[in-house]
A and B are shown apart, each in its own frame.
Chain A
């Protein structure tokens, strides 16, 4: 047996985190079946009950794979690299391919265990009747390939980055990009004249990079993004794309597993201040923010911790923030322009819903990435002790850190304002709705930040805190939407309304009259809930910071 497989697989199995995950999954699947198990002697010939259970645990399993699988491969290579054991492995008679296969097999075996946890529920569901066996087979095939795709993706990212938390962040960002953003091109091009048939077909293929259309199709729910239109069978395309992408990613990663992976020299570059006068003037004209200019020191009016946070982030420097804001602003303008000029057949409400979703996805991806490591990152790097030794108060320290995230999220939110302004100009009667949506989005940002900062502060290791924060934030924001997906069955109107109320995202979508959200009344309760829960999370953060900064 490949020794790397033995070490990786047993290593994962031994971790209490993995055990907890498996135990929780088994419990959740069992409860799902129990909830829908027939309690009387009558037989449901239509198979509706079993279909309801099948959908719950089908989506549940997909969510489990999306949440649980990427964290392990993401940290796999980078941890080996940083601890020096990758150098030892590469120096051994094992070649790059066998190291890679050993590592990937370890993670895939764990994924298999995750899927096996659902087998009893799956068998019970099958026993209830009404669902053919091939549906189960296809579901497990799609989910197995999804695990393979995410594992190869995580390993590739892990081979490039320098820290485990960066690996987790980037992997989850890539996973959610594949999950949601891949749906957008198809949503744009379908039924429009833009780009012609080629664009529509390309969009359709890109859409199948996401597992959502495939899983929805197996669940007998059509496919997401089609808005009721009948689409082509998707899961065969997903299977093809998943296999091809996994093989491609695997070869790419294996080609990196050699001595060159340790080449980390980082040149300081040529500092602008040291260049000739003409060159300095030229760069002054070309760059809004010159990344190679020597900084003039942190001014007195800025919180030094906030400035430090920005400078420490790879994309936190002003030049990157400007690029991010520009992309958001252009996207929102394009969306609204398309609605205004009738390029798409969508109404203003659909465009509004897309804008909201775009911002929510950005907030959900950015907030844990920025907020989870605020405290754990310092503890991990040894900076916490240094900061405790300085006269800066804990309040100012945490405030600076939180503000570094708040400003970034606000910039992202404000960048889409032009889109909303255009929307109000097209349909002035939407002014109040747009205002309410903006308040909802503000609450979404605060809520996501509060959860990220509080959950992240509970862990010592940045990688663990980042993974756990993503799991919690995505659960909080995504689970109500999963409940909404089952709004006709198995969940009733009241259940869906209550679930949507727990996040301001549902409220934003309902206010903008997004398709499927029109009938829900979620304000102002949703704001109150977000406010109370955010306050609670900030309290948790405060207590944890106090605990960590006192002399014991």
Chain B
């Protein structure tokens, strides 16, 4: 998880942040490569914002360090400010300013000369799909409009790295789709992105890598697929049959087959269950795809009326809950309320 790689744009190494006795971040290490979109997931108070604030130079780590495009986040904060565009969850509203004036101000603060700045305002508004908001007053924007303007503001100085805290918050379904497209577009432009969100399916669709963090500790890091594989010790499969009366027979056959493979299974043989109403047999196993393939052949050979043989997809949400549950077990007994919630 903590691989040191020169091609990494964002490199976090053993990052620890303590507030007195409380450890907000505990030896966090990860890296993100250029053009990648990293999803940063964790429950409230997990340490996401602390990590982000250290990355953008707003907080000082207790130990460890972080570098962005080779610049140290603590000692080279001026460089970092030019390299990074940060969009916090809070919009940062200035009353009585029109959107174009708002962006012009941030451009001026970043030291962009007047003419290119005016051009840049139009460019970023177009990228964010907010050109029509140019003359609107910032304090009259809806939440969704604010998110677009905030994104435009983050892009004003053309940063290499964009850190977006909950960019999909408060957006309607269409705006979420637009935001997703926009993130992919930015990635295509070579920008590296860190995106936090509570809407996990949103992240799963756009992220190249995902980092899961709970109680300041990194629990999982990698591509969505690799995390799923890591997490899914046992995958669930469904066999759809054409006749209800064959369900019991087919279930027995599958269970027998699973018992025969017991020595290859991790954690004991898989189990099969039948659901007559659905004309379905379900089983779970830790076997790889190539090991499972003969089962289908055997069922067909036996004359079972199989119409579908499929793996039940586990989404990022399931994976996150799995990690959160594991963390509760490893960190000690959970409170009853937490168990119920999970």
Contact = CB atoms under 8 A, between A and B. Distances in A.
What class of interface size applies to chain B in its complex with A?
Answer: 35 or more
Contacts of A298: 104-105, 108, 114
A388 B91 CA distance: 14
Interface string A271-306: 100000000000000000000001111111000110
Interface string B56-78: 11111000000000000010011
B6 interface: no
A268 B94 contact: no
Contacts of A304: 105, 108-109
A2 to B, nearest CB: 33
A7 B32 CA distance: 51
A185 B91 CA distance: 47
Contact of A385 (B88, B109, B136): B88
Contact of B109 (A265, A296, A312, A387): A387
Contacts of B341: none
B96 A312 contact: yes
A312 B94 contact: yes
Contact of B94 (A266, A308, A385, A388): A308
Interface in A29-57: none
Given A163-B95, A551-B60, A295 B81 contact: no
B81 A391 contact: yes
B88 A305 contact: no
**Chain A at the B interface: mostly helix, strand, loop or mixed?**
loop
A383 interface: yes
A299 B88 contact: no
Contacts of A295: 98, 100-101, 104
Interface string A533-552: 00000000000000000011
Interface residues of A, number: 37
A266 B140 CA distance: 6
B15 to A, nearest CB: 14
A462 to B, nearest CB: 11
A424 to B, nearest CB: 39
Contacts of B57: 389, 551
Contact of A381 (B92, B109, B111, B135): B92
B204 interface: no
A113 interface: no
Given A387-B109, A391-B82, A297 B114 contact: yes
A17 interface: no
Contacts of A390: 81, 106, 109-110
Nearest to A298: B108
A351 B49 CA distance: 60
Which of B56, B58, B105, B109 is packed against the most chain A CB atoms within 10 Å?
B109
Interface of B: 56-60, 74, 77-78, 81-82, 84, 86, 88, 90-98, 100-101, 104-106, 108-111, 113-115, 117-118, 135-137, 139-140, 153
Given A265-B140, A308-B97, A382-B88, 5 more contacts: A268-B137, A304-B109, A311-B101, A312-B94, A391-B110
Interface of A: 162-163, 264-266, 268, 271, 294-300, 304-305, 307-308, 311-314, 316-317, 381-383, 385-392, 551-552
Q: Considering the complex of A and B, which 5 residue pairs feature the smallest CB-CB distances, nearest first?
A: A382-B90, A304-B108, A266-B140, A382-B92, A298-B108
